[in-house]
Amino acid sequence: MSISNKMFAVSRKMLSVNSMQQNSRFFSVASRLQSSASQLFTQEQLRQKEMVGRIEKIEIRYIGTPKDTTLVMNRGLSTPHDCAKHIGEKYCRFSALALLDNNTAWDMRRPLEEPCTLQLLNFTSADPHLVNKAFWRTCSFLLGSVLHKSFKDEAGLFLHSFPKPNVKTGSFVHDIALSKNGWKPTSQELRALSIEMIKLSQQDLPIERLDVTSEVAQQMFSDNPYKREQIPSISSQNNGLITVYRVGDHVDISKGTMVSSTGLVGKCTIAAIHEVPKSSADKLSLYRVQGVALPIGLNLNHFAYGILEDRAKKLNPAKLPNEPYEEVAAEQVA
């Protein structure tokens, strides 16, 4: 049996069974680790809500269609997504990102702390730069979730990091470590990963953000030596805090911002996996996983999308994961 078949849990046969069977049969260890981090996320999220104390009201001035309006919301509890509920159902469904005071990108499910103006951004906004970056970053994050669930235990998978998004490179990226070297995925395996990304999108799961202390982050990622090594450097640049995101049971580190839910991801292809040349310090083999995706509702013909897929196969030029972390912290953790 090839190295690839030994390591890779996703197959056509596996795709025919339901997700519960997949988790119990193939992903038991990974699921337990993810569940532990998710439980810590929930506990810290509840603790922070309890710390809000007496609820104070703040005015949020919404600017946009169908009309400008002022909303009275709860400081430290209400989010742009909550504001969107007062405006209309389609704004909840299709708003990807919020813009506060015309200059600060804000996650849709991140609590609002001060009175501000609020704009809701989607993929048809006049200036899509902020939304595009958040979308690309989100795809990298979701790819980590799919990868974490798609390898058997003997693969020795660790999620390393994903670089800050650069749409011009033509691909989103997630860097991983495996216990085996020389793995060359087949076209069927890449297609299986693509299918898992699409299935995750179809679940339309919310994407949540939380700022935690470095001590809590160390507990969340106690099983991952790469994350543990990165946490001190990240916290030193962020007032001792680590920003983490959660989708389903999957938790990872990211500076953000990200779009509001997995349902905003449309067509998606995992295009290539490149082995990263080893350095003398590398104990495991490093791989760069790359993909391309379109937002929901944006359609391209087969020929045009094929051009994007071909471009996404080329090695993404972002800083490699085995470069010295302190020197490229901004590039390594998006």
CA nearest neighbour of 243 among 227, 235, 255: 255
pLDDT at 278: 84
Place 7 in a pLDDT band, splitting at 50, 70 and 90: low
pLDDT at 148: 92
> Spelled out in words, what is the top-level CATH class assigned to the domain 57-122?
alpha beta
- Tens-digit pLDDT profile for residues 259-314: 999 999 999 999 999 999 988 778 899 999 999 999 999 989 999 999 999 999 99
Distances (CA, A) of 305 to 107, 271, 300: 29, 12, 6
User: How do residues 76-135 score in pLDDT, each as one tens digit?
Assistant: 999 999 999 999 999 999 999 999 999 999 999 999 999 999 999 999 988 899 999 999
Q: Tokens 């389903």, residue?
A: 248
Cβ distance 138 to 207 under 8 Å?
yes
Provide the mean pLDDT of the chain: 88
Q: Taking a C-beta distance cutoff of 8 angstroms, is the pair 164, 134 a contact? A: no
Which phi and psi (to 5°) does residue 286 adopt? -105, 140
Assigned CATH class of 129-313: alpha beta
**Are the C-beta atoms of residues 246 and 41 closer than 8 Å to each other?**
yes
| Structure tokens belonging to residue 117 | 């103006």
pLDDT band at 5 (very low <50, low <70, confident <90, very high): low
Q: What is the pLDDT of residues 193-203, one digit of tens each?
A: 999 999 999 99
123-137 b/e with 16+ CB inside 10 Å = b?
A: bebeebebbbbbbbb
User: Read out DSSP for 93-138?
Assistant: HH--EEEETTTEEE-TTSPP-S-EEEEEE-TTSSS-HHHHHHHHHH
Closest C-alpha to 178, from 38, 321, 326, 318 = 321
Structural domain boundaries in the chain? 57-122, 129-313
Average pLDDT over residues 25-53: 77
